[in-house]
Chain A
Amino acid sequence: MNEFPELGERYGVRAVPLTIIGDKVAIPGAVHESVLVEQVLKASGSGVGGPAEASGPTSALEAEGPPPVQRGEQRPSGLIIP
């Protein structure tokens, strides 16, 4: 983070570790691998479980229009914290 502050600003990193999956989802801290696997599959659209949560823009850097309704917190950067 301290070597690439511009990346931290782009993704709105406020605390580490922070895992960003597919420019869509941000997971703070350490989580169980099942959570990571689930979010990786959702980010790719490869399908896992129920309907995808992110129905809006696919890039956190190019968000346009009103943000879609999401379960979980959505940051100003566009990233979703499940």
Chain B
Amino acid sequence: MKAEAPGDASPRRLYARLMPQMIPLKDQEFIRQKFAAELVGPVKIDYFTERELSLEVPGRRPCAYCKPTREMLQELASLSDLISLRVHIFEEAAEERSKLEIERIPGTILRGASTALSANDGAAFKYYGMPGGTEFPAFIESIVDISRGEVLLSEESIRELKKLRDDVLVRVFVTPT
């Protein structure tokens, strides 16, 4: 999705000004400039969500954060040509969710082109839930890190981790405030 220049009076820009934004316009501009300055390589975002229905279906557990997360990711993807977003309906994307090992929704995977962070088709960074509140800045930085293919660990840590022979799952529990 292409980024829009400030002062652009296109219908899309006018629509964006009229509709409520997940990310305030002022913050979007800051992030757009940050991405322009710091992104190096492409970042692929795969987002898994539910099919949005206008009806309430008995027995169907609603995903309260699925829609706002999708809207937020769409806004983020519009801020740089290096970011691409694919939205998958969890129930209908069995092959994709199996390949990317997505277990629940909302589920987001960030993958870069650099082999330093992503091994073959493996996911580089997986986030379940909405990366909002205090988690939002860290999510932005994750996009930048993946784009740049940089590993921020020390040389010693990298040397030690190269001893790994099996996959290790690391989960971090957070609460956005």
Partner-B contacts on A (CB < 8 A): 1-4, 7-8, 11, 13, 16-23, 33-34, 36-38, 40-41, 43-48
Contacts and interface: CB of A to CB of B under 8 A. Distances in A.
B171 A19 contact: yes
B13 interface: no
Contacts of A45: 166
A22 B173 contact: no
Task: State the main secondary structure of chain A at its contact with B.
Answer: mixed
Given A22-B170, A34-B157, 12 more contacts: A3-B129, A7-B173, A8-B173, A11-B173, A19-B173, A33-B157, A37-B160, A40-B164, A41-B160, A44-B165, A45-B166, A47-B163
Interface of B: 64-65, 104, 106, 128-130, 153-154, 156-157, 160-161, 163-175
B161 A13 contact: no
Contacts of A36: 170
Given A41-B160, A48-B160, A4 B128 contact: yes
A3 B168 contact: no
Given A3-B65, A34-B157, A37-B157, A46 B170 contact: no
Given A33-B153, A45-B166, A1 B173 contact: yes
Contacts of A23: 169
Contact of A2 (B169, B170, B172, B175): B175
A46 B166 contact: yes
20 contacts: A1-B173, A1-B174, A1-B175, A3-B128, A3-B129, A16-B173, A18-B173, A19-B170, A19-B172, A19-B173, A21-B169, A21-B170, A33-B153, A34-B156, A34-B157, A40-B164, A40-B170, A44-B164, A44-B167, A46-B166
